[in-house]
Chains A and B, each alone.
Chain A
């Protein structure tokens, strides 16, 4: 199982309203693998994630998710949005948010039963927030909210995880919790794709990297991809080369 292919991107061009925003994405990810999407703001990282979800049309090339089309694979794909894009005033509890990951299994009309609640609670304990289950989602800190959203993806029991800037503005506790949960999931064969512009976290969390800025600059093992030349090609003038080969990017 762990050797099968989770995601194939075959010369993908994605477009909003026929305007291509992302071209030439080409590569693949095996089950249990993890891929970092790296590039400056507006490079098309979110667009690529939405294309993998089947929410943005692919105008040429193709995307294969878990051996089928993005739309058919949706139930096995978990999307983790940035926590601060959600309404903090919304009257839902933490447990309700995590349960949303199981709605597709539960089905229309029926309400979550004990087994679903237990699964949601297990996912919450895994991110260390079981004691906050009854609190309103908006009362949690930004990092805690991000962990709740990861717990929702865990509860969904997906085979592919798509995370949009999961480490953006979160505390170290959250970063560590996210990394350990992702490691455990990958050990069970779950593939992970995350967009980020934090190169050090990308190094910690991912084996492969896709560098992109409207088009693909590089796709391959992270050590070979995060080179000064390739980063400069991705970030253009905003990459700063330091003595000793370190690279700082302003993304």
Chain B
């Protein structure tokens, strides 16, 4: 029974590859997500996932590597973002919305020149986790290794910059360089994930697990471990749901969306549980403080 539920889905090669990819992306997204949350830069992630789209679209239209296209577009948007937000006349949130709108619109125009516009658009927007091949897994491992090494090496500087930018600048660190590095790491992970889960759902891999971990844990490193493990487990559960749903029950389900919804469901459960605990904690806490005051 348990074997049927958990092991059988992963007997075929494509499900094994999907599992490896989802677990890798979950771990990477979970780790970088904690940085994204500390810096309140969920919006930047949103920008990246939309701005890599035209790169993917162009690469797709001309038959180049999607990874290369996404990397170029992503790097261009990160540079524009860093330069554009330095000009104080433009509010950075507005500028990010501008980047999302124009890059995405350009991508749509490129895809619309293709004959199979609608199905191509769908594939690029929502990814194809079940057709991940060996090369994509290797790409993900390389990108992931680079990202994790950079985050590990700059860990204390990144945390300090998130906590107190003025002090970090006063110590002589170049804030804009630190920011650019983190933006580029986010971009790398988005690019790695984009072929599997598509351009509009990547943000869930980065923001949702980290937000859930933040509700439970208070230390940065425990948050990272919890968020990475949680994301990997949820990705695995998502694949099991997809397999049994489509093979056993014949549901037509979108794979990337199902995994993201498992993430969201897990977040809601953690949120509700922590709200209940917090209420109990606060109840006893305020009783204690009233005693102390009187």
Q: Could you list which residues of chain A lie within 8 angstroms of chain B, going by C-beta atoms?
A: 18-20, 23, 89
Q: Is the CB of B91 within 8 A of A89?
A: yes
Chain B nearest CB, measured from A152 CB (Å): 24
For residue A89, which residues in chain B have a CB less than 8 angstroms away from its CB?
88-89, 91
Q: Is the CB of B293 within 8 A of A20?
A: yes
B135 CB within 8 Å of chain A: no
Size band of the interface chain B makes with A: under 10
Chain A nearest CB, measured from B106 CB (Å): 28
Q: Is the CB of A19 within 8 A of B286?
A: yes
Query: In chain B, residues 21-49, which have Cβ atoms closer than 8 Å to a Cβ of chain A?
Result: none
Chain B nearest CB, measured from A90 CB (Å): 10
Q: Is the CB of A19 within 8 A of B91?
A: no
Q: Is the CB of B289 within 8 A of A23?
A: no
Chain A nearest CB, measured from B166 CB (Å): 15
For residue A23, which residues in chain B have a CB less than 8 angstroms away from its CB?
293
Cross-chain pair count, CB within 8 angstroms: 11
Chain A nearest CB, measured from B294 CB (Å): 10
CA distance A89 to B95 in the complex (A): 14
Chain A nearest CB, measured from B30 CB (Å): 30
For residue A18, which residues in chain B have a CB less than 8 angstroms away from its CB?
282, 286
CA distance A20 to B91 in the complex (A): 37
CA distance A19 to B287 in the complex (A): 10
Q: 9 other contacts beyond A20-B293, A89-B88, with CB at 8 A cut-off?
A: A18-B282, A18-B286, A19-B286, A19-B289, A20-B289, A20-B290, A23-B293, A89-B89, A89-B91
CA distance A18 to B88 in the complex (A): 39
CA distance A20 to B290 in the complex (A): 8
Chain B nearest CB, measured from A244 CB (Å): 36
11 pairs across A/B with beta carbons < 8 Å? A18-B282, A18-B286, A19-B286, A19-B289, A20-B289, A20-B290, A20-B293, A23-B293, A89-B88, A89-B89, A89-B91
Chain A nearest CB, measured from B89 CB (Å): 8
CA distance A19 to B89 in the complex (A): 40
Query: Please, which residue of chain A has its CB at the minimum distance from the CB of B285?
Result: A19
Query: Please, which residue of chain A has its CB at the minimum distance from the CB of B294?
Result: A23
CA distance A241 to B196 in the complex (A): 68
Query: Please, which residue of chain A has its CB at the minimum distance from the CB of B283?
Result: A18
Query: Please, which residue of chain A has its CB at the minimum distance from the CB of B88?
Result: A89
Query: Please, which residue of chain B has its CB at the minimum distance from the CB of A15?
Result: B286
Query: In chain B, residues 252-294, which have Cβ atoms closer than 8 Å to a Cβ of chain A?
Result: 282, 286, 289-290, 293
Chain B nearest CB, measured from A58 CB (Å): 15
CA distance A18 to B289 in the complex (A): 10
